[in-house]
Each structure stands twice: as C-alpha cells, then as structure tokens.
Structure 1
Amino acid sequence: MKRVAPSVGMKEEVDGILRGTAVGAVDPMKGFVRSLARYILQVHIEEEATEFLGRGRYERGQRHRAGLRNGYEGTGLQTEAGLIDLRVPQLRETEESFRSPLLRRLGKRSEDLEDLVRGMYVRGLSTLDVQDLYGDTFGEGRLSKSTVSRITSRLNADFEVWKKRDLSDLKVVYLFLDGQYHAVRQGTEEKEGVLSAFALLESGEAVLLHLELGEGESFDAWLAFLQDMTARGLSDPLMVIFDGAPGLKKAIRRVWPKAFRQRCQVHKMRNILAKLPKGMQGRMKKLVHQVFRAPSYEAALKRGRALIARFKDRYSTAMECLEKDLEECVTYLRFPNEHHVRIRTTNRLERLNGEGRRRTKVIPRFPTERSCLSLLYATLITASAKWRGVVMTPAILRKLDRLSAETSTRTEEMAA
C-alpha cells in the first residue's frame, strides 16, 4: 500500500477550515493562515526532494541519481503566525545528503519573528514578559528563555556595527551632547555614565550619532567620546548644545574650539534658582526667562547685564552663575528663528535618555557593560525614529552659511 505524502493531509486540513468542518480551531482565520502556510511550505519541500532524486514518489524507470526515500522527519519553523510543523523527506543511499534549500534560507524561525521579539524586548518587556506575551498570542511553549535571549543578543552585533560606522557623509549643523547613569555591571550598585550624542543635519534630519560609556562624565571621557566621532569622519558642528558639565565644556573647546556653544537653558535655570531663597525663585525665574527669550542676541545680553546689575548685591551667587555663561545661554538667538525652540536646550536628548532609563529598569543588572549599551542603543534608535527634524529653506541655509563663515575667523580667545 502506497503511503500518502504529508502534504495531502495538510491540504485536507486547509479544506476543512474553509468548509467549517475543522475540529478545535479557536480562531478560524489564524488557523487558516497557519495551515495554508504549512501546506505551501510542505509541498515545496517535497518537490525539492523529488528534484534532488530526479524522480517522483513510487516512480519507476531509469534513475537519474542513486538514493531511496526513507520516510519523513519532523521539524518546526517558528513564524509570526506561530510554530509551523513540517515533515522533511529523509533519503538514504545517496552520494550526498539532502538538505532542504528552503529550510536553510528560512532557518528555524523567520526574520519577522526575530524582529517581533526584539521589538517587544526593546519597548520595555523582560525576557519572561516576551515569553508570556508570545505564548498568549500564538500558543504556549512557543519560545524558550534561551531562544529569546539568543535573538535579543543580536542587538550586541547590531550595536558594534553601528558604533563603528563612517560618519563622514553627515553634515552636522547642531550637535547635542548629554550623559545618563546606569548600573551596567553585575555585583555592584554603582552607576556609570553613558554618553550620548545626536545631531540635526543640514538636510534637517535628526539622527542619533554615538553612545558609549564615560567615567563620571569626566573631561577625559568626553574627549575620547568626541574624538571617536571625529576619527570616523564627523564634520565640525556649527553649534554644540550641552548641559554645562565642566568636563564636557572643556572637551568641546579642545575638539571644536571655533564652534558656537549653547548652554542648555533648562539646566542653567535650575542652577540659578538653586542659589536663591524659595520666596524669590518664582519671580527670578520670570525675569531670567525675559533674558533667555529676548527678541535678539544683543537684546538678551542687554537684559541679562541689567538684571545682574540690579540683583548682584542681594543675590550675588545667583547673579555670578548667570553672568558666567550669559553669552552661551543666548547663542541660539543668532540662529534662524525657525530653529529656536529646538536648539536652546538639550531637552530632546534628555527625554530620549529618559526612555533609555525607563527601559533599563526592567533589567536591574546587566551581565556585561556591552549588553547595557546594546539595549540602550536599540531603545534610542527605536525612539529616535519618531523624531521630527527641522525645516531647512534656502533662506535658512544662507543664514547658516554666514554663521559658518564667521566661525572661520573667530579667534581662540573668543572660543575659550
């Protein structure tokens, strides 16, 4: 009695779903999609075996290749539609072993599934969460902990490629720099600095540039971070926006001495208010805002100096804080009005880093520092995909060109 090929039974299963006679189908549409995919794949695998031998099942006559069919062996293909069980023809007495080209291409699980697993992981789910959610969606026992870990570990490889990529094609106008802190090593509660950079390009596009560990946001750490980007071809930014950390400021002066610098107004405001009595903080905040939001760079300097003269005797420490970085706090006013809201603070990068902190809370300790950076990279890349850039019209580009020409004539004294 001739045995029936597995694809025949699978075809009957598909027909049963279409006729409504299939047993145990919880979701008819999901069952149909899975069963149809299974049938199509099975037919293709059986045809591969036929082509390999040069003859069909139970076909007699001249043999084009030595070998006999020897039943089937089960295998599984993991897909977004769930686990698809397939039957691979087994051949014996052949000169070379038979391996399905289709299964070699697809592997044990599809790229769609791997993207799905990585996406769930990056968006805030732990390994156990991913297992549970996938099981709830596609059925229990679909993914093991080791499988999820293996798939998500690909983030490490992606990150290594990304952090070594060439940056010479990026024409940076505005460069934003910030640091965040994470417990990146097992066995310690100590948190370490993670430095990050993103840019607004001449095209108006917003891009994440770099991510790396940096000990305490020190000068040496920031200097190495910036030099890494320049070594990969990063062009000189027209303006750098930063939070005012002394080590970072010194590193910016060292690497890009003639670039315009914009001190984050949010950080500066906090520093000023922290040096005032609580009863005065609300009033002073409004007065400083009038300086920071002046209609022009010259007007901002005039307002700032008047404010400092007015209160320097009563609140000398706060006014010294404002006076120290007054010019850098209002540099943005020299740039196109259309960009002002986006370039006067590091808020966007801080919000992005906040997303990174939210994600890493799911994993209180990382096995290695590289695994922490890889997860942060994936999280920030995912979040940054939603960024809006800035408008770049011919008039705006002409103004930026004039500012760029000015940087070529700025003296080291002005840059210091």
Structure 2
Amino acid sequence: MSLASTRWQYLYFTPNKLAWNQERSWQILERYHRSLGSLLNFTLSLDVMGLSLRDLQEALYHLLGSVLFVSAINRVTIEAQVHMDSHRQAKLVQTPPILIVDGVWVDIQYASAETKVDRAGHVRQLRQAQDRVVLTALAVWPDGNHEVLHYEIAEQEDIQGWETFFAHLIERGLDPAAVELVVSDGSLGLPAAMTKHLPQAKQQRCITHKVRRIQDYLSYAQLPTQTEQGQALKPSEAKSQRRYQIQSDAYDIYKAEDEAAAQQRLAAFVEKWQALEPKAVKTFERDIKLTFSFYSFDELLHPRIRTSNLIERLFEEFRRKSDEIGAFPNEQSCLTIFFLVVQRDQAKHDRSSMAKN
C-alpha cells in the first residue's frame, strides 16, 4: 500500500511558528515526496502496532523537526480508507477451495435520536456505542497459503448476517460451486446460510472450540484424593487434572492418520469417560462428524483447516487495537483499522514464508 502520491494539507506548527496550511500542499511532503511515502506507511505501521496518536506525534517530531497536530496525524489513517475500500471492492480472480469464517465483536458509535445543547447554544445529536460484529472470510489455498478474502460489519452473527456476507462475496466473483470446505466455530446461523449460498461445501467445526467446550459440562464425579505416588491431592488440583486428562484424550482423537482411526479413538474416548463425565461426553459427541471433514483434504493442510486458529490470531491482533481505541467513531474507521491489521498480518506471513524458503 503506497500513500506517496497523495497531496497532504495539514495543520501543523513548529516551535517558532503556527500555520494553517489549507491553500497549498504541505511543502515538506512536496519536497521529499518520494521518501515520505515510506514514512507515511511507517506511520501507519506504528499506529497498528499499538502506538497512540500522541506517541506518533512525538516520534514524528524527531524525524521531521516539526510537531504535528494530532488531527494531522490522524489524517494519515483516514487516507488509508481509500485503499481499504479498493481492497474490499476488488473483483476476485480465483475462488479458494477452503474458507475459514468467523466474526469479531466491536463497539461502534451511531447517531441516536437524543440531542443536547452545547455551551454555544448549538443543538448536537448524541452518539451512542452499539455492538457490531466484523464478519470475516480467510481463504486457504491448496499449497497452504492463506489470505483474508472479505470482511464486513453486521448487526448479528446470524443467518441474515451470513447470507448477506456470502452474497457480497459472490457479487465480487466468488464461485459458490468451487468452495469445498468452510471452517468455523459453532455459529448457529452459518449452516443455513451455507445451504443457500455454498451448497457444495462441507462444514468443518473447529476442533479447538469443540474440545474446550467439554470443561463447561464436567461434573467432576469420583475425583481421586491422591496422586499415583500416594501424595494427597487437593480438590482443586484433582479438578485441574480431570480437565487436562479428558481434553488431552479428546485432542488425541484428531491426531489419527485418517477418519477411520479417529473414529476408533473416539469409541475408546467414550468408553473411558462415559461413566465419569456423561454430560461432557454427550456434548462432545453431538455433531462430532462435522469435526472430521478435514480428513477429506491433503494431510499437509490438516493443521491449518481443522481449527479456526488462523483467523483467531488475526482477531487477537485486532482486539488489541480496538481495545485501545474503545468505541470506533464510525464503521469506516473500524473497517480501516481492521484492513491495516490484515495488511500487517499478511506482511508477517510473507516474511515467514520467505524465511522458510
């Protein structure tokens, strides 16, 4: 992403002069047009990595010799919206065989019906933070490479939200018949949306979500009171040991070479834990077939497509930035920051791939 061709008009001041620079392009940027393209990209990178606008103000002073107003620095991020819009609207040239989909929740401010009168006597419309979800699709290609394909804001992670999401992907050029697998957590609205828009695709339920949910249904019956070495075992330690053992056994199911072997391990799991933890076993067995779909694909892809971890790591980066911001002022700013996080994540992935080669 290059911002070097943009003509910037900013409010700035130096230690000796305050100037309102509206009529002409900023002379510093014009004079060092080429080099500052990289500087502005660097500024965006620092912003996404967690530096506040005040921190950026201080950092850029040492580079430019001028102190920029925070509103001026914020314009750098605003300009990235143009690139974000272009990225989200670009036509898809190819359709990946595998999609990993999920949503990350954020707070966004929207205008409300309430108003207030400020000190100057002006009537101002109040804004209120509301919950929204950024639905996201990450493409996984046969060679294992992956990239974020599409993202948009929805009111809910429900049937309507996913149907609209897939419809927009198809409008951009996604071939519904070419999608073979959709990896997700337990989103309730997703299966119905897939049936309508991606009828050929299988669903792969994330095994991490599946295994972690076991702990919510543990009864901790017949807990041991001592270790195998005869040492006393506290109740809290015994519970922790039970959680670790049953979840470890569940994960071992998915380490089998093929689905037939995984089914055998599942049968052994049920036989071992049914009497002690019937509710947990019953919950784990529900829709268990959906967690075996990854076995239909190349073994090299299994670590990438049996969980939604690839997209969860991206969301973790985005949450760190969104937590720092609080409530986004509008949807555009939310999508722009998400776009910048995606760009940074892709750059790290590219560097990692180059290092392996």
Q: Which moved more, 1:330-339 or 1:158-167?
A: 330-339
Q: In structure 2, what is the equivalent of residue 320 of structure 1?
A: 282
User: What does 1:262-281 align with in structure 2 at a 5 Å threshold?
Assistant: 262-277=204-219, 279=239, 280-281=242-243
Amino acid at match of 2:200: K
CA distance 1:202–1:303, change in 2 (3 Å): closer
Q: Residue 206 of structure 1 contacts residue 389 of structure 1 at CA under 8 Å; is this kept in 2? A: no
- Residue by residue over 1:52-74, the C-alpha shift from the partner in whole angstroms, topping out at 9 and shown as x without a partner, is xxxxxxxxxxxxxxxxxxxxxx9
Question: How many equivalent residue pairs?
Answer: 292
Q: Which runs of 5+ in 1 are unaligned?
A: 1-73, 85-102, 392-416
CA distance 1:290–1:359, change in 2 (3 Å): same
Q: Please state how far the C-alpha of 1:234 moved relative to its aligned partner.
A: 1.1
Q: In structure 1, what is the equivalent of residue 191 of structure 2?
A: 249
Q: Please state how far the C-alpha of 1:203 moved relative to its aligned partner.
A: 5.2
| Residue aligned with 2:174, SS | coil
Q: In structure 1, what is the equivalent of residue 227 of structure 2?
A: none
Q: Please state how far the C-alpha of 1:221 moved relative to its aligned partner.
A: 0.6
Mapped to 2, the partners of 1:161 and 1:263 lie a distance apart of 32
Structure scoring higher RCO (CA < 8 A, sep ≥ 6) equals 2
| Residue 140 (structure 2) pairs with residue 214 (structure 1) | no
**Which of 147, 165, 179 matches 2:90?**
165
Q: In structure 2, what is the equivalent of residue 113 of structure 1?
A: 39
- Residue by residue over 1:117-141, the C-alpha shift from the partner in whole angstroms, topping out at 9 and shown as x without a partner, is 2222222222222111111333242
Amino acid at match of 2:183: I
Mapped to 2, the partners of 1:134 and 1:237 lie a distance apart of 46
Give the structure-1-normalised TM-score. 0.64
Mapped to 2, the partners of 1:388 and 1:302 lie a distance apart of 39
Mapped to 2, the partners of 1:119 and 1:138 lie a distance apart of 17
User: What does 1:394-413 align with in structure 2 at a 5 Å threshold?
Assistant: none
User: What does 1:39-54 align with in structure 2 at a 5 Å threshold?
Assistant: none
Q: Which runs of 5+ in 2 are unaligned?
A: 1-23, 111-126, 221-238
Mapped to 2, the partners of 1:355 and 1:299 lie a distance apart of 36
Q: In structure 1, what is the equivalent of residue 60 of structure 2?
A: 134
Mapped to 2, the partners of 1:378 and 1:75 lie a distance apart of 25
**Which of 235, 238, 263 matches 1:301?**
263
Higher-Rg structure is 1
Amino acid at match of 1:199: A
| Residue 48 (structure 2) pairs with residue 122 (structure 1) | yes
- Residue by residue over 1:95-114, the C-alpha shift from the partner in whole angstroms, topping out at 9 and shown as x without a partner, is xxxxxxxx9xx49x942332
Q: In structure 2, what is the equivalent of residue 15 of structure 1?
A: none
What is the root-mean-square deviation in Å for CA atoms of aligned residues? 2.8
CA distance 1:326–1:224, change in 2 (3 Å): same
Q: Please state how far the C-alpha of 1:316 moved relative to its aligned partner.
A: 3.3
Give the share of equivalent positions with the same residue, in percent. 26
CA distance 1:277–1:349, change in 2 (3 Å): same
Mapped to 1, the partners of 2:46 and 2:287 lie a distance apart of 43
Q: Which moved more, 1:354-363 or 1:114-123?
A: 114-123
| Residue 166 (structure 2) pairs with residue 240 (structure 1) | no
